[in-house]
Amino acid sequence: QTNGGTITYCCNGGPAGNNTAYGGMIDISIEGGGNGGGLLQTNSAQQMFFRGCSFNGSSTWALDLHTMQDSYFSQITCNVVGSTSVGVIQIYGDANGTSNMLWFNQIRVESFYKWAVTITRGSGATGGGNNGLFFTQCKFESAGTVNGDLFYADGYTQQLIMDQIFLSAGG
């Protein structure tokens, strides 16, 4: 599904309802052309697979992962995305559930303005936070000024595993 240039994997009903499942993309490049919309959005998606994809040129998020579960991101590049108020990769839940069991391997985020990755409990969420998030062999680097943390996880985040991570900001 596309919505104003954004690719969306979406459903209604959250984890207890009908989830989008068993989809994804391999070797796809999504170019935003500096538009105000994001590039890839999920809502209650599960068992998705994304490999060899690039997300470039958006003035907002590249990956907006809302209540996503059991999914894999490998060899992903995000370049010249984000703003001073929006992260490049956003992971969050809501009152219907959390994002959990997400694997990120060989992710490269370059030229961003605030937060390469944000992990938050989300609007209306109660109880625990997002959990089972694995980042391996990732690079988060911006040559310019970054207006905040490079990687942010709120106090509700559980089981966040990071191995072989490179973080750098030039400003």
Q: What is the pLDDT along the chain (171 residues), one digit of tens a residue?
A: 344 457 877 665 444 445 667 788 999 998 887 666 789 888 888 899 999 999 988 888 899 999 999 999 999 999 988 788 888 999 999 888 899 999 999 999 998 888 999 999 988 888 789 999 999 999 999 988 888 889 999 999 999 999 999 999 886
- Strand-pairing partners, residue 163, are 136
Taking alpha carbons only, the member of 9, 66, 3 closest to residue 38 is 3
Q: Dihedral angle at the C-alpha atoms of 79, 83, 84, 85, nearest 10 degrees?
A: -120
